[in-house]
Chains A and B, each alone.
Chain A
Amino acid sequence: MTTKKILLSILLIGSFFSCGDYLDIVPDKIATIENAFANKNEAEKYLMTCYSYIPAHHEHTGNVGLMGADELWAYYPGSDFDPWMIARGQQNTNDPYMNYWEGRRGGRALYNALRDCNIFLENVEDTNKVPDLTSTMRQRWIGEVKFLKAYYHFLLFRMYGPIVIVDKNIAIDAPPLEMQKKRSSVDEVVNYIAGLLDEAYEYLPQEVTNKTEELGRITKPIALTLKAKLLVTAASPLFNGNSDYADFTDKEGVHLFNAEYDQNKWLKAAEACYDAIESCKLNNIQLYTFKSNDRLSDTTKIQMSIRNSIGEKWNNELIWGLSGRAVNNLQSVCMARIDPANLGNMWAAQERLNPTIEIANNFYTDNGVPLNEDKTWDYSGRYTSQVAGTQERFNLAEGYVTAKLNYHRENRYYANLAFDGSVWYMQNSRSGSDENTFTVKARMGQPQAKLGAYNYSVTGYWPKKLISWKFVLSSNSSTTEWFPWPELRLADLYLLYAEALNESDQTIAALEWIDLVRERAGLKGVNESWTTYSTKPDKFKTKAGLREIIQQERTIELAFEGQRFWDLRRWKTAATVLNQKIHGWDIDQEVPEAYYRPKVLFDQEFVAPRDYLWPLREESLYYNKSLVQNPGW
């Protein structure tokens, strides 16, 4: 009897083992990509995904322009910033630095960005999807993502030249050959991006009205300015008739570079610049000038105009500020320990990015001409020193001995740089004004001298410009006023226009736009400055002379904004400029005579034409058999 009971129970247990869908455990409503476009709220997240690939241009580790050339230096060993490795000649094919093709070594995966942009467009352009999205909003989003798609292509183009264009996504299960897309020629790439920007323009709003929530989103002036930049880049010597790449073909023998110089490209570029400037005018975008605070001297006000054109958030010169890339950490990384009350705070004032003597020497004299051209400036005695007097008190620490090099320089020199003997006005100035304010005294034994083996300026310069005047150093921390990274600003556009006009043989028209920028910096126009003070008074009258002036003006005006790195490449001057020694002051010295001796920090090597374009990673060439490596790599 009991046996039967047991048997029955066993059978009963057995009946639990009813098979069927025991292994089908996945419930319905698991998130799929369809959910992303089910309503506006979710789709907006995908819009964020499209924006999220914008590189970390607000960080020295994410913006190759900051440390990749000769503007900013650091101590070594101990500063293995990926972008800086390019300046130090470490670029390679094994695992390239700042690899934006694949998203390695400091680079972002821009092809992933393009895939996401395309997924977004495929879905949002379909009006059956995201049903609660109004058509105006839909238009705008499409415009934004088309712009981003163009922007990511542009970033790739700027680095790699001929790139793989991704207009439509290729299916994951497509045959391997279809996935291995080849590179398009430079002209095709440029035309494609320009076309995309034109499309985006149609969809974009002129201006952001809801500033609280939408500042930083794409508008018409942004699209036009990027197009101007694209076309100027495409018209520049690197891409316009560059004979170095005359034999650069893909595996089917198609030329990837057009070796014929085309003057027309400059005309188109100038047109694009004009359109962009006009569009900016509509939004009242103009060169920034500092207005508040009556207690400041005129000198300081000019310098604040220069500094705040970057450091004041959402100032009216900004065309495209990267709201998702607001500058915070970089300020601390660049800051000097200027507050006498908190001299030991190396944690918040890290002093890790240091301008080189090379960039410092680019800034003009107070007459607005280069150091070695100014008839009135003691070029040969520049390393000797003298005591700063009262008249220099807004620029130089009164009564302090500093190099003659630091005297009689244009306001942008003092606004951009801090150095041994310089004055550094900040909003929290103890005196409440620019009198008796913070100073930098950096020779050994002085308050701002190198403290130890880390966090010090290796050159004796600090990039004042990158730090907001509202940055506050306390005893063991800091407060930072964040500002959006200035991806595109008006001064940049003016100078691009000037360049395009000059190259299109409209020299006189070009001067107007340079002078606007110089005026804000407190300088006289090119004509007046050169004619009066330069040893080469006619320089600006030739196309080549004015080109040189424009190039130096760009270097000065856009210093530490990550522009020079790209300019030197498109001008094809990198092979000269970046093949020189990098210098800093002899910072371990106490007396001025010993301190003001340029010390070689590094001997730069730029291999042309190899280094003009990025290498593709060796391994990735195996994954895509139709790719060719860039020349020289």
Chain B
Amino acid sequence: MRKAQCIRFGSLFKTCILISLLMLFPFHLFAVNGINETSEELQQRIAVKGIVKDESDLPLAGVTVLVKGTTNATMTSTNGEYTLKNVPVEAVLVYSFIGMQTAEVEVKHQTSIDVVLKEDAVKMDDVVVVAFGTQKKESMISSISTVSPGDLKVPSSNLTTALAGRLAGIIAYQRSGEPGKDNADFFIRGVTTFGYKKDPLILIDGIESTSTDLSRLQPDDIQAFSILKDATATALYGARGANGVIQITTKEGKEGPLKVSVRFENSWSSNTSDIELADPITFMQMANEATRTRNPQEALPYSYEKIERTRQGLNPYVYPANDWREMLMKNTAYNPRLNVNISGGGGIGRYYVAASYNKDNGNLKMDKRNNFNNNINLETYQLRSNINLDLTKTTQAIVRLSGTFDDYTGPIDGGEAMYKKIMGTNPVLFPAYYPSSLQPQANHILFGNATRGVEGAGTSADYTNPYAEMVKGYTDYSRSQMDATIELKQDLRFITQGLNVRAMFNTSRYSYYSISRKYNPYYYAVGSYDKLTDSYTIAQINEKDNPTEYLDYNENSKDISSAVYIEAALSYNRQFNEKHDLGGLLVFQRREKLEANRGDLQKSLPYRNQGLSGRFTYAYDNRYMAEFNFGYNGSERFYKTNRYGFFPAVGAGWSVSNEKFWKPVSKIVSKLKFKATYGLVGNDAIGSEDDRFFYLSNVNMNDGGKSYSFGENFQYGKNGISISRYENRDIGWEKSYKSNFGMELGLFNDFEFQIDYFTEKRTNILMDRSVSPSMGLSAKVRANVGEAKAKGVDMSLDYKKMLPKNYWVQARGNFTYAHSEFLKYEEPEYNEKYRSHIGQSLNQQYGLIAERLFIDEYDVANSPRQTWSEYGPGDIKYVDMNGDGVITDADMVPIGYPTVPEIVYGFGFSAGNNRVDFSMFFQGSARSSFWINAQDTSPFDHKSPDDYNPYHRDVPLIKAYADNHWSESNRNIYALWPRLSPTLVRNNTDPRNTWFMRNGAFLRLKSVEVGYTFPEHMLRKLHVSSLRAYASGTNLLLFSGFNLWDIEMGGNGLGYPIQRVINLGVQVNF
């Protein structure tokens, strides 16, 4: 629809206006400064010139030189020279440059000032964002990993896809590549709970956020990104910190002239790998084989004549052979991204304002026969404005406003569903559509379809025609997330030095709605065909479904929620006698969240928590450090007596390299620090999210599932009453005892090595009790009875070296290993020891050991009976572990590795000079298993007997299965796929077994980037201070022992593939 295109452009236009408005705002604000300046006009003014150099005496170009408190600034030239006019004689000049420490020099009537700037590397690392504040890295003893935001810049509009392998302690993987639904799953130090929330707490500028919020965050806007792993780091978050915390702070403006930074990228994404399907002829032959091998008396689904005529490529409407993927999907999708941010400040305030626009296209083909574009088109806008205002010399107000807006149009059920339809349709039953010349009077596309089990025209359209599904309509959705925060900081040095108080108020609003518009397609099938004249007629087959030529619309789900958060903190930091560093912090916080569409009274009640936390730190002479943290938190989910939990943590550290005796070796071992922490963290996200209040029973007073009716025409009926939860006042916090032992080691000032060994013990894990079925309970009985432990290591190694002639090289590697085990598990005393979960990983899977495929009937008759369905030769033969002569659940043993990888690692390097840079990053995971989804990939029919939905899918035949399966003529008892069958053989697909188990280990070349920075002299005329162009790629190479599809997708092979992205971009700073 051309109109829709216009709207798209229109919204882009609107974005531009918004960006411009945002840009105007700070100018306006700081124009006030100009007025202030004029009042000081009386002061004498001079011109100042000089040269700025670095420590190795090389001139620095592009250094900002600013008169402090004004917007009067200039920049140094390539040889480091600058001239700044109109400088008050008593002014202070500020010299700033990225990667260098900012220097301030008082003018004092000098007209020539040369400055040497020191490298900033130390300073950047100096301070780490911790819970409710920052800490000097040197004296930090908790286990926190940080990553430079630059490392998170991947050519994707989803930040979560960049996490794996970048930070020690994160376990992450990505299962789908669908735009808008491609969030990676990530966990901190693995999974040690079995409540509904396994992923970490995400805090963006201190505000609890979702992983979608995180995924939409622009790396350009991130000041610091850290993950909090151990008890001392997370105890302050009491209730919510047990699974670790991800903390992100966004950039704030810095004093200085207006800086504009623009990043523009274009990327081309394509599937990392396409699953290979058997050709249509093979499909038909194999379908025939499947039918006959299971029931020799059964009629063939495809006649020899049809197969032969299809092979000859005769009339493609009568003998269709569709490659649906080829027909409906493009190889590459083109996605532009634009990010603009401006920052600066002076006088009383500083600003950082950013806007970004991302467009993600799916790889569906547009069809010219259709008047609207059905391809996935996800446009994301982001606006962020961080303003710092100095209200007084000791008071600061910070206003942060941010909004993320997604606008989507795409196929009716979304990209993943569309992809599945494309990959789940019979290739030979019907063409996508018939030529319109067959029914010239029809004002609609003549879509092809077929009636189940009928050759020729039947009376219903029983199949999914993916082409019709794609063009029949589209869905629009819109998602907005808005956050407004105001924070006040007051320095209380007038009471005592180092005392600060701070208060923050935040509210966030979320809304989502979705609308779809579609028509009901007309389906046709070949009615008659005359072989001699090659003429055919078509007949409409779905009259009963009331097809339409006009659009209908549907209002889909709407989601609205709001949250309010308040926080107040009192902190104290002071150094005494240059040796004693004392710190204290008390934070009170409270959060309320309301969701509008929860569909249940109890769930509609506000979600609340509140807590008081504190931190006390003491460091002596930067050598010995000690820390005590606590969180005192309440959760509304528990009964009064269990409602509040106290979660303390302690830690100590020793900086050996700061000892006097270390001096002699400090050139070699520049840093050595040991640290240890231990503490308790709580978790109230236990059980299911739907269980709001464990201490209340949940009675459904209107349960349609418990209805009955009476009367002559069965018309007097009522819904029944049911109980879905029994009250239990004893349920309380899940507790996590965490300990951490760490070492930091610096060598030759080039290498930095960190290693942490951690253990964790979880107690009070909520579990279902096993209750005799004759009790007749309609809901589970639960108690805090489970226990688990975990241990692991995470480490990182960094290497940075400046080489002569502006060359530099950096390398970074990290590694995370996390292993969990059950200590107590509510389970019956099994006769078979191997069935017990005790000592097994929380993500351990149990299944049958598949020995081989059955050879023949004799083999079947003489093997233990298997109980999942009927089976025969060529089906999977399982091992009777307990020797009772029957294969049941009791024969299931722990199989494979856990489903969540126990090892995730990444390594890479970058190198370059001041012109060219190159970087490369590998990422891998190991010690995980996944299962080929045998049900979803089982070829041919999937209709279940009770499925009255006329639309069902015919699963295509994966080529590998066609090539390598058990057949009567080739009884390969170790074939990839068992004997074919026209329907699911539950014996093979239902019980989890080793036949379809695969090792999930892989290593992939996650990203490569080449950049070129243009020389300044080329840019000066353009008023551009720096310009870098770069090309990058993600998911370029993959090494694994599995080749049916991209291994990172796990068993979900027919899902939307992970994307390989090639990206070109420019970054311009003004």
| Interface residues, chain A, with chain B CB atoms under 8 Å away | 2-3, 6-7, 9-10, 13-14, 16-17, 19, 22-27, 30-33, 35-36, 42, 44-46, 48-49, 51-52, 54, 61, 76-81, 88, 90, 92-95, 101-102, 109, 111-116, 164, 166, 169-170, 172, 179-181, 211-217, 313-314, 323-324, 326, 329, 342, 344-347, 450-456, 475-477, 482, 484, 588, 599, 618-620, 622-624, 627
Are B867's CB and A6's CB within 8 A?
Answer: no
Given contacts A44-B718, A46-B721, contact A624 B774 (CB under 8 A): yes
**Residues of chain B at interface, number, CB under 8 A:** 106
* B697 interfacial contact with A, CB 8 Å: yes
Are B693's CB and A52's CB within 8 A?
Answer: no
Rounded to whole angstroms, the CA-CA distance of A494 and B941 in the bound complex is 47
Whole-angstrom distance from the CB of B441 to the nearest CB of chain A? 21
Are A25's CB and B774's CB within 8 A?
Answer: no
Q: Which of B72-80, B391-399, B402-410, B1024-1032 lines the interface with chain A?
A: B391-399
| 0 or 1 for each of B864-881: is its CB under 8 Å from A? (1 = yes) | 010111100000000000
* B982 interfacial contact with A, CB 8 Å: yes
Whole-angstrom distance from the CB of A129 to the nearest CB of chain B? 14
Rounded to whole angstroms, the CA-CA distance of A88 and B696 in the bound complex is 46
User: Which residue from chain B places its CB closest to the CB of A76 in the assembled complex?
Assistant: B295
* B714 interfacial contact with A, CB 8 Å: yes
Residue from A88, A181, A476 with most neighbouring chain B CB atoms (10 Å): A476
25 inter-chain pairs at a CB distance below 8 angstroms, sorted by A residue, are A7-B492, A17-B568, A22-B634, A24-B636, A26-B602, A35-B699, A45-B718, A45-B720, A49-B722, A51-B708, A54-B708, A77-B983, A88-B870, A109-B776, A111-B776, A166-B774, A172-B777, A215-B711, A216-B709, A324-B708, A344-B451, A345-B459, A347-B950, A482-B714, A627-B772
Whole-angstrom distance from the CB of A245 to the nearest CB of chain B? 21
| 0 or 1 for each of B193-230: is its CB under 8 Å from A? (1 = yes) | 00000000000000000000000000000000000000
* Complex interface: chain A residues within 8 A of B643 (CB): 23
Q: In the complex, which of the residues A46, A172, A344 contacts B720, with contact meaning CB atoms closer than 8 Å?
A: A46
Whole-angstrom distance from the CB of A206 to the nearest CB of chain B? 17
Whole-angstrom distance from the CB of B728 to the nearest CB of chain A? 9
Rounded to whole angstroms, the CA-CA distance of A65 and B571 in the bound complex is 76
Whole-angstrom distance from the CB of A63 to the nearest CB of chain B? 14
* Complex interface: chain A residues within 8 A of B702 (CB): 45
Rounded to whole angstroms, the CA-CA distance of A618 and B888 in the bound complex is 9
Q: In the complex, which of the residues A17, A180, A215, A451 contacts B454, with contact meaning CB atoms closer than 8 Å?
A: A451
Extra inter-chain contacts (5) besides given A3-B395, A329-B948, CB under 8 Å: A7-B490, A31-B701, A48-B718, A61-B946, A454-B453
Are B718's CB and A323's CB within 8 A?
Answer: no
Whole-angstrom distance from the CB of B691 to the nearest CB of chain A? 13
| Interface residues, chain B, with chain A CB atoms under 8 Å away | 291, 294-295, 297-299, 301, 391-392, 394-395, 451-455, 457-460, 488, 490, 492, 494, 501-503, 505, 543-544, 566, 568, 588, 590, 601-602, 605-606, 608-610, 634-636, 640, 643, 693, 696-697, 699, 701-703, 705-723, 726, 770-778, 781, 828-830, 865, 867-870, 886, 888-890, 941, 943-946, 948, 950, 981-983, 986
Rounded to whole angstroms, the CA-CA distance of A84 and B781 in the bound complex is 34
* Complex interface: chain B residues within 8 A of A27 (CB): 605
Are B719's CB and A214's CB within 8 A?
Answer: no
Q: In the complex, which of the residues B503, B710, B945, B983 contacts A216, with contact meaning CB atoms closer than 8 Å?
A: B710
Are B392's CB and A323's CB within 8 A?
Answer: no
Are B945's CB and A622's CB within 8 A?
Answer: no
Q: In the complex, which of the residues A25, A52, A93, A619 contacts B708, with contact meaning CB atoms closer than 8 Å?
A: A52
* Complex interface: chain A residues within 8 A of B291 (CB): 453
Given contacts A23-B634, A49-B721, A347-B459, contact A324 B710 (CB under 8 A): yes
Are A111's CB and B543's CB within 8 A?
Answer: no
Are B590's CB and A476's CB within 8 A?
Answer: no
Are B701's CB and A25's CB within 8 A?
Answer: no
Are A45's CB and B982's CB within 8 A?
Answer: no
List of 10 A-B pairs having minimum Cβ-Cβ separation, nearest first: A452-B453, A476-B544, A622-B828, A454-B453, A115-B776, A49-B720, A111-B776, A624-B772, A92-B867, A94-B888
Are A23's CB and B608's CB within 8 A?
Answer: yes
Are A451's CB and B720's CB within 8 A?
Answer: no
Rounded to whole angstroms, the CA-CA distance of A109 and B948 in the bound complex is 24
* Complex interface: chain B residues within 8 A of A26 (CB): 602, 605, 636, 693, 696
* Complex interface: chain B residues within 8 A of A346 (CB): 451-454, 458-460
* Complex interface: chain A residues within 8 A of B777 (CB): 112, 115, 172
User: Which residue from chain B places its CB closest to the CB of A165 in the assembled complex?
Assistant: B774
Rounded to whole angstroms, the CA-CA distance of A170 and B774 in the bound complex is 10
Are B708's CB and A213's CB within 8 A?
Answer: no
Are B707's CB and A48's CB within 8 A?
Answer: yes
* Complex interface: chain B residues within 8 A of A90 (CB): 867, 869-870
Rounded to whole angstroms, the CA-CA distance of A324 and B705 in the bound complex is 12
Rounded to whole angstroms, the CA-CA distance of A151 and B433 in the bound complex is 56
* Complex interface: chain A residues within 8 A of B502 (CB): 10
Q: In the complex, which of the residues A94, A344, A484 contacts B714, with contact meaning CB atoms closer than 8 Å?
A: A484
Rounded to whole angstroms, the CA-CA distance of A324 and B431 in the bound complex is 45
Rounded to whole angstroms, the CA-CA distance of A13 and B634 in the bound complex is 20
Rounded to whole angstroms, the CA-CA distance of A452 and B453 in the bound complex is 4
Whole-angstrom distance from the CB of A493 to the nearest CB of chain B? 22
Given contacts A14-B568, A347-B460, contact A77 B982 (CB under 8 A): yes
Given contacts A452-B455, A476-B460, contact A212 B716 (CB under 8 A): yes
Are B544's CB and A115's CB within 8 A?
Answer: no
Are B707's CB and A52's CB within 8 A?
Answer: yes
Are A624's CB and B566's CB within 8 A?
Answer: no
Are B693's CB and A623's CB within 8 A?
Answer: no
* Complex interface: chain A residues within 8 A of B602 (CB): 26, 30
Are A52's CB and B696's CB within 8 A?
Answer: no
Are A33's CB and B697's CB within 8 A?
Answer: yes
Are A13's CB and B568's CB within 8 A?
Answer: yes
Are B828's CB and A10's CB within 8 A?
Answer: no
Rounded to whole angstroms, the CA-CA distance of A77 and B503 in the bound complex is 68
User: Which residue from chain A places its CB closest to the CB of B719 in the assembled complex?
Assistant: A45
User: Which residue from chain B places its CB closest to the CB of A80 in the assembled complex?
Assistant: B945
Rounded to whole angstroms, the CA-CA distance of A622 and B723 in the bound complex is 25
* Complex interface: chain B residues within 8 A of A453 (CB): 291, 298-299, 301, 453, 982
* Complex interface: chain A residues within 8 A of B640 (CB): 24
Whole-angstrom distance from the CB of B398 to the nearest CB of chain A? 13
* Complex interface: chain B residues within 8 A of A452 (CB): 299, 451-455
Are B716's CB and A214's CB within 8 A?
Answer: yes
Are B452's CB and A6's CB within 8 A?
Answer: no
User: Which residue from chain B places its CB closest to the CB of A213 in the assembled complex?
Assistant: B716
Rounded to whole angstroms, the CA-CA distance of A14 and B865 in the bound complex is 70
Whole-angstrom distance from the CB of A322 to the nearest CB of chain B? 9
Whole-angstrom distance from the CB of A313 to the nearest CB of chain B? 8
Rounded to whole angstroms, the CA-CA distance of A9 and B392 in the bound complex is 14
Whole-angstrom distance from the CB of A627 to the nearest CB of chain B? 8
Are B458's CB and A344's CB within 8 A?
Answer: yes
* Complex interface: chain B residues within 8 A of A179 (CB): 771-772, 775
* Complex interface: chain A residues within 8 A of B722 (CB): 49
Are B721's CB and A36's CB within 8 A?
Answer: yes
Rounded to whole angstroms, the CA-CA distance of A135 and B829 in the bound complex is 50
Are A623's CB and B771's CB within 8 A?
Answer: yes
* Complex interface: chain B residues within 8 A of A166 (CB): 774, 776
User: Which residue from chain A places its CB closest to the CB of B491 in the assembled complex?
Assistant: A3
Rounded to whole angstroms, the CA-CA distance of A473 and B701 in the bound complex is 40
User: Which residue from chain B places its CB closest to the CB of A476 in the assembled complex?
Assistant: B544
* Complex interface: chain A residues within 8 A of B460 (CB): 346-347, 476
Residue from B301, B566, B945 with most neighbouring chain A CB atoms (10 Å): B945
Are A25's CB and B605's CB within 8 A?
Answer: yes
* Complex interface: chain B residues within 8 A of A116 (CB): 776, 778
Q: In the complex, which of the residues A6, A31, A77, A326 contacts B601, with contact meaning CB atoms closer than 8 Å?
A: A31
Are B503's CB and A13's CB within 8 A?
Answer: yes
* Complex interface: chain A residues within 8 A of B395 (CB): 2-3, 6
* Complex interface: chain A residues within 8 A of B706 (CB): 48-49, 52
Q: In the complex, which of the residues A112, A212, A588 contacts B712, with contact meaning CB atoms closer than 8 Å?
A: A212
Residue from B717, B719, B774 with most neighbouring chain A CB atoms (10 Å): B774
Rounded to whole angstroms, the CA-CA distance of A294 and B349 in the bound complex is 100
